[in-house]
Amino acid sequence: MKKLYTALCAAILGAGMAGAAGLQVTFNGSDNANWTADGTAEVSGGHLNVTMAENNGKYRADVHMKNGEYSLDATADRYVAVKFIGERPNGNMTLEIDNGGSWMKNDAGKDAWVGKPQGSVMTKGGNTIYYYDLTRSPQFTSSVNVTKINFKIADCTVAPYTYSIDWVKTYATPEAIEADKDWADDGAGDIDEAIVAAEPVVNETTGTGYTSLEEALLQVSNGDVILINKNQTLPNSRIGISRPEGVEEFAITIKGNAEGVSIIRGRNDLNMLINANAKVTFENLAFSGNGMTPEKNFMEVSGGAQTTFRNVTFSGFNTPGNYAIQAKNNGKVHLEGVQTVNSDIRATLFVGSAGSSITGDNSASIYLEKENSINASELTNTTPVALLFDTTRENKILVNNWDAAANFTSAVAGYAIVAAEEGGLTFEIRESGVESVSVENATVSVYSIGGVLLRRNVAAEEAYDGLPAGLYIIGGRKVMVK
């Protein structure tokens, strides 16, 4: 039986951790004094088990360490890691650290670890370790005494609204976390990293094994997590995933195990259809085109469905005039860590309706049909994402909420991606040659050759005053400043 927050406090009350070097909490009932959680929670089986509370349609339950003290070394304890059984809830997870009276901030004086962790590691049992780099705060130097720690786990809008934390620990490097990922923190009887099942596909939520992904999807329910242990070749038919009638919400996750597995195309036609407001997350997987040369897209997301591709690779897709994924009819696709390799396709993603988005490190291509655009946030890619678009479109904004043109490149001959004056990214004609020109009397904007806005709406005669010698885009033309 899960106990309320106050009961949790009483259950784990014990001696403080004053002066403890480093951070290592396994929730074994004796080492987690001063650690509490919001919502409904209990410590059992070596885990902190939490049920989140709802407020205005969103769920939240934070984890706290109060009235304790840990001494963290800037080198040995640079990364704080938290292991979830399964995954963390959908939404934001922000770390807050108090070093003796004030919350640690970044260089700009704002919270240093907002929104999402700096990285994650998957264990052999399919659990996930998330970690934060404490040096994002300039206050984390030498040795820091930590008196409060908060993991703010909030804005969850997709079930399940529960989670279990196995341990919290500090490490010197991400490599050390990787090496320690299968740590049996509860001793010889710890079964957290036991392989879930030998079956090719396992529903982790119900514990049921299946011979194929198709079979597992026939019995899937809202909130279920499907683990693929062996490569899955799709049937020579269309697999559909949709919200069942009478069900208010239907969200599932399909993920690969730590060994790396593929979903393989099995049809020279549309092979997967996600529609009817279903929410599907694919992660830690590879999709293989299987060397087929169909004239149809591989997957369609439509009818209000939402699909996330996280840490996913597309390879071997040979459909030069088509796409791996097509979002249309109110379908939305989110790309996060998507790579497209060894493929001959027009684009990885066709955006035919509003609301699709991209974040993280992606090496892919996107076609923005008609007036559609894509939302971007927290991009880290060094290989530009290629954009295809209709040059006659009235809506000139291709990318919303992102001003760094270097993360994108135009796949349309004769055009460049540049920052728009009103915000976001747009396109303009790329000059075929580079020449030294004088700037005529007008108001112009100045961009770096990489598309970064340097000056906005300045008098033309002042446009290049003080600019270092080099190549710029001034008034829509490439200009060599000497």
CA distance 227 to 204: 6
Residues 6+ apart with CB under 8 A from 392: none
The model's pLDDT over 321-364, given as tens digits with 9 standing for 90+, comes to 899 999 999 999 999 999 998 888 889 999 999 999 999 999 99
CA distance 366 to 103: 41
Average pLDDT over residues 144-165: 89
Average pLDDT over residues 191-202: 72
CA distance 403 to 91: 24
Residues 6+ apart with CB under 8 A from 77: 22, 23, 134, 170, 171, 172
Whether 443 has a pLDDT exceeding 70, the answer reads no
The phi, psi pair for 406, rounded to 5°, reads -65, -20
* Mean pLDDT lowest among 19-23, 44-48, 364-368, 387-391: 19-23
Please check whether residue 443 is in contact with residue 455, taking contact to mean a CB–CB distance below 8 angstroms.
no
pLDDT tier, 447 (very low <50, low <70, confident <90, very high otherwise): low
CA distance 230 to 260: 9
The pLDDT value given to residue 134 = 92
Q: Whole-prediction pTM value? A: 0.55
CA distance 315 to 344: 9
Whether 60 has a pLDDT exceeding 80, the answer reads yes
The phi, psi pair for 407, rounded to 5°, reads -80, -5
CA distance 230 to 211: 10
Kindly state the percentage of the chain with pLDDT values over 70.
89
For 23-161, where are the E strands, in sequence order?
A: 24-25, 35-37, 40-44, 47-51, 53-55, 58-60, 63-65, 70-73, 79-84, 92-98, 119-122, 128-133, 143-146, 148-154
